[in-house]
Amino acid sequence: MHPNTLSTGCPWDGSPRTALARRPLRVAATSPSRLLRAGQSGRCRHCGNRIDLYPRADGQPIALHPAELVTAHVPAACHWHLSSGIAHPHSDGSAWCRIPHAVLCPQRTPVCRISPPLTSVRRQLAVRTRRLIDTGVFTTPTAAPTSAEPDGPGRPVVRMLLGHYLADGPVEAIRCVAQTSHRHRCSRPVLAPDSPPGSWRLLPIGPQRGQLALPEQTTAVYDLSQLPHAEQRRWRMQRCPAHATTHGAADLALAGWQVVDPLLHAQHLRTGLPYPPAHGSGER
């Protein structure tokens, strides 16, 4: 005797199968950050543990520990709270706060004196790192090679919108951060073949406000300042031409730009133009 099976795709009791409608994530037009909350999570490149990325008030990203901690257990200098998707470096008066991942990362030296509860969390992250390494999910980073860079610097300095920014990768590898219709990050590069390119030039990089005067030096800069303002904004938003005018598409990652500081970023400054030049480049 064989049981009767339904071939209509219904459950065993014959009730209709209803598929729940998928609700797309949307970003409010008044939100100071267009980054989707679902796209904020990442992995620490030092320990492999999960981190949450948020933009600070100055536009720079910060990696926070995913869970909230008791404010009394966290040093005052490490208190962070979120407001409208922006991370602020102080407490909001509640009993809970967020903490930078750098304080708890087991592969880094603690930046401040931590309490026993934080030491316990740090120990748990160390055990998780060891488990990720043993299962092959995570590998410890190796030192970057010191060979020459014939195709251009690994993290070039880019001039746009009257400022100098340090990229998170080669010019050709800078990837669009927008979300596609399939809810994945766009795979197109920002340097599109049909868009006007910049040019490599030797330009002086001055000190930041409040720093002592530095000796006059020139640095290889990928100059976009001669492009139209809309093109420079597209680069600053880190979007491909297809998503440059798509205001409804949210971001699935933070733009990788950092304001250049000649003292902090001295290792990335190059005194010679790359050879051969990048796509469409050439000193003007």
H helix or E strand, kind and range, residue 132: helix 116-134
Q: Over the stretch 90-142, which tens digit does the pLDDT of each residue have?
A: 888 899 999 999 999 999 887 788 899 999 999 999 999 999 999 888 887 65
pLDDT at 180: 86
Separation between Cα atoms, residue 231 and residue 268, nearest integer Å:
25
* Start-to-end Cα distance in the chain: 85
pLDDT at 212 over 80: no
pTM for this predicted structure = 0.59
Bin 210: left if φ > 0, else alpha if -120 < ψ < 50, else beta. left
* The two structure tokens encoding residue 164: 């100098």
Query: What's the pLDDT tens digit per position in 141-174?
Result: 654 444 434 455 789 999 999 999 999 889 999 9
Closest to 160 (Cα-Cα) out of 150, 171, 172, 152 = 171
84: left (phi over 0), alpha (psi -120 to 50) or beta: left
Q: Which residues pair with 50 in a beta bridge?
A: 43
Q: What average pLDDT does this structure show over 203-231?
A: 78
Sign, CA dihedral 51-56-35-169, equals negative
Give the residue, 81 or 36, on which the prediction is more confident. Answer: 81
Comparing 5-14, 156-165, 176-185, 186-195, the range with the smallest average pLDDT is 5-14
pLDDT value at residue 149: 44
Question: Which pLDDT belongs to residue 153?
Answer: 72
59-98 pLDDT per residue, tens? 778 889 999 999 999 999 999 998 877 899 988 889 999 9
pLDDT band at 34 (very low <50, low <70, confident <90, very high): low
What is the per-residue pLDDT for 143?
Answer: 45
Closest to 174 measured CA to CA, from 148, 152, 147, 204: 152
With a cut of 70, say whether residue 56 has pLDDT above it. Answer: yes
CA 82 to chain centre: 17
| Res 219 pLDDT > 70 | yes
Cα-based distances in Å from 76 to 29, 71, 80, 84, 284? 34, 8, 9, 22, 51
What tens digit of pLDDT does each residue of 222-273 get? Answer: 999 999 999 999 999 999 999 988 766 788 888 889 888 888 888 888 888 8
Q: Residue 160 and residue 174: Cα distance in Å, rounded?
A: 15
Helix (H, G, I), strand (E, B) or coil at 175: strand
Highest mean pLDDT of the ranges 35-39, 185-189, 277-281: 185-189
